[in-house]
Amino acid sequence: MLADDYLGVLNSEQRAAVEHTGSPLLILAGAGSGKTRVITTKIAWLIRECQVDPAGILAVTFTKKAASEMQERAVNIEERARFAQIRTFHSFGAFFLRKHAGLAGVDKNFTVYDDDDMITLLCKAVPSLTKKDASRLAHKISLAKDYCLSPDSPELEQIEADPEFADIYASYQKRLRDTGNVDFGDLIMLPYEILRDNEFIRRETHSRYKVIMVDEYQDSNVAQFKFLQLLSGVDEGSGTYVCVVGDDDQSIYKFRGAEVQNILNFQEHFPGTKLIRLETNYRSHAEILACADSVVKNNSGRLGKTLVAARGKGKKPVMVFLPTQDDETQFCAELIMQAADAGVPYSSWAVLYRTNAQSLGFESEFLHQKIPYKIVGSLKFYEREEIKDALAWLSFTANPRDEISFRRIVNKPARGIGATTQDRIVAAGTGTSLVLAAQKLKLTKKAAEGMEKFCSLFNSLNEMIPDEENASSENNGSSGTAANLSEFVKEAVIKSGLLDYHREQDEITGTQKEENLHELMNSAVPYKCTRQGLLEFLDHINLDRTLDLQNENSDEDRVTLITLHNTKGLEFPRVIITGMEGGIFPREDKTEAELEEERRLLYVGITRAKDELYFTSCRSRRLYGQIKYMSPSPFLAEIAPSLVRVLGEKPASLGFGADDVPPEAKKYKKGTLVYHDDYGHGEIIATSKDSEGEYVVTVSFETGGIKKFLPKYQSSSLLVEDTDF
């Protein structure tokens, strides 16, 4: 292929990025701007036009899929690109570490320990630790390694304040080195330490790699940044060409250790950096991009860019205001079915939500309406471990002869009732209650104590579920009887220990198991807390499961159900972003930095849409087993009314007209500095209206707290510091 052939398809911004050499380069690549084309073309161009040895090119990204795609596309342009090193960060770290294993005190044939291996090894290194504590501390150790912190690092207290943590970390490291193996965090930290401490290897590395490119740089953590600094030799005049590609507006993985400051401060750490913005968007229509820009421009921590739609104008995005979450799921189903009747494939639709727990309502509605769907990045709701655990308790309460449910819950969390004891109980309880059978058996002391606790829990839950004929609306909620089945589900997951058990897993892995359990509670609100109500609830779930199995046999033309985080890198013709209410999206009590990340997350969601975009917001929602009245997401107020169409009753808190501006809104604006008698100095970070139409401000205080106020009633205690507004 001639140079003009592959360069001719590039726009001016892309070509400038491809042909840049010399100084470090930061390519600020907006959503849908063709960054992969730029990276792969640049690799080919450097080999073909600059005679760079392909073996001297190192390109790193974050997923195997992205690395494979990058290599395939580069090779299609220039065959010699197959000799370039195109890897994930951790794959390259492992490659480097095997080459220099002896310097790190590990065997060159090391294996990589996963999270479970870490916990097991930590328990052996520090026998006094419980498995629960070991799980938590293993997560802390991984986090420390993401920051390149060793056991003797003074900064370690920022990870864990407990003074014993350093010793525990040191004991774990010694045990790990004794095995000759490494954990996942070592794959970056150990190569960094080798380069830091060995000038000869640093110079050898600089000599080998003359070009280093990093994709999705906004997703890099501190350890990866430090590793890049040493790999490139930027502070040593190595002459290695460094090019990073990313989008600060799409930095949404702080919970995984990603540090947005890496891209924001790149020019500071790599002097002489050339900044090239890719602002031509080939994915979305102009109206969609205008919505995205109107939201993300409210972030202060960004380098700034404005996307221009190559596809020109299209349909205005639509804000849909609905009474309840049931109306929300029905609206989405009807919208999709109407489009299907007009010949629009189901696969052109994606329903986005903030948390996995929100999938339940859509799954149920789509199953009943026979709309084929798939869940991306997560199990379907009823397949999730924590939901199966909770349902097992409900099923066993309804039928204490249920062997499968019994085996799932009797020793979870651990009660000392092993498989052998379970077999004895099941054998003795054939055709009768397993609880009664267990009480008649002579068990070991440990098993007997555990079984006594289990039976006591079963009996207390069983008492909460009266027969229909013995229950009445008058005594419902009294004498230990819950008002609706949601209260019973709540008691079951709390008393059984499942809520605490899965909450601990959330703390370790960053999952959303607790939220899923709360959503199961919410789904039980319409049912009476009676035995009949329990059976109806379980029947409803089993029907959904049956419908789901039928759905599995359908073809691949399916609606995508997906969290906003999992949409990164994807695109869809038609996108519905659901749950646009304060407390849902953004989440409650966020710091300013956290709000900025939430805003970036919405930006990512908006820019997934090619042709059509919808936002849905509900006035009420079932939360924690109760009906809660909601306010629209403050992010919706950041979108100018002229940019969208509105369906439903538009809340007064959105789009103040010239004659509808409350007096307090003129004084207490976003960004205004205030002082409160109790909380001190702060800044207004968001404004909205409550369910009564009252003007509400959200203030972030210097002390770290976030509070909401009604200025109309608190003007004497909430004082404006800067009156020049």
Active site residues: 35-36, 215-216, 250, 608
> What residues have CB less than 8 Å from 451, skipping those under 6 apart?
410, 415, 417, 421, 425, 438, 439, 443
**Cis before 634? omega within 30:** no
> What residues have CB less than 8 Å from 719, skipping those under 6 apart?
674, 675, 676
- The contacts found for 649-656 with CB under 8 angstroms, 24 or more apart, are 649/321, 650/319, 650/321, 651/321, 651/617, 651/619, 651/689, 652/689, 652/693, 653/688, 653/689, 653/690, 653/693, 653/696
Beta bridge partners of 681: 675
> What residues have CB less than 8 Å from 642, skipping those under 6 apart?
none
> What residues have CB less than 8 Å from 88, skipping those under 6 apart?
60, 61, 62, 63, 64, 66, 67
Q: CA nearest 354: which of 617, 620, 579?
A: 579
Question: Could you please report the per-residue DSSP string of 676-708?
Answer: ETTTEEEEEEEEEE-TT--EEEEEEETTS-EEE
Q: How many helices (H) and strands (E) does the chain have?
A: 29, 24
Do 273 and 28 meet the contact criterion of CB atoms below 8 Å apart? no
**Which residue has 């070009």 as its token pair?**
211
SS3 of residue 538 by DSSP:
helix
Question: 339 is written with which tokens?
Answer: 């489009």
Do 606 and 285 meet the contact criterion of CB atoms below 8 Å apart? no
Phi/psi at 425 (nearest 5 deg)?
-65, -45
- Region label for 180, one of left (φ > 0), alpha (ψ between -120 and 50) or beta (otherwise): left
Phi/psi at 430 (nearest 5 deg)?
-55, 120
Do 173 and 151 meet the contact criterion of CB atoms below 8 Å apart? yes
SS3 of residue 428 by DSSP:
helix
**Cis before 413? omega within 30:** yes
Helices (H), 58-88: 64-77
CA–centroid distance for 365 within its chain: 24
Question: 663 is written with which tokens?
Answer: 């007096």
Q: CA nearest 217: which of 164, 259, 189?
A: 259
Phi/psi at 213 (nearest 5 deg)?
-125, 140
| Sequence-ordered strand ranges (E) for 635-672 | 645-647
CA–centroid distance for 16 within its chain: 34
Phi/psi at 65 (nearest 5 deg)?
-60, -45
Do 74 and 44 meet the contact criterion of CB atoms below 8 Å apart? yes
CA–centroid distance for 247 within its chain: 18
Do 599 and 297 meet the contact criterion of CB atoms below 8 Å apart? no
Do 612 and 574 meet the contact criterion of CB atoms below 8 Å apart? yes
- The contacts found for 190-194 with CB under 8 angstroms, 24 or more apart, are 190/93, 190/97, 190/104, 190/106, 191/93, 191/96, 191/97, 191/100, 191/227, 192/148, 192/223, 192/226, 192/227, 192/230, 193/104, 193/148, 194/96, 194/97, 194/100, 194/103, 194/104
| Sequence-ordered strand ranges (E) for 365-504 | 373-376
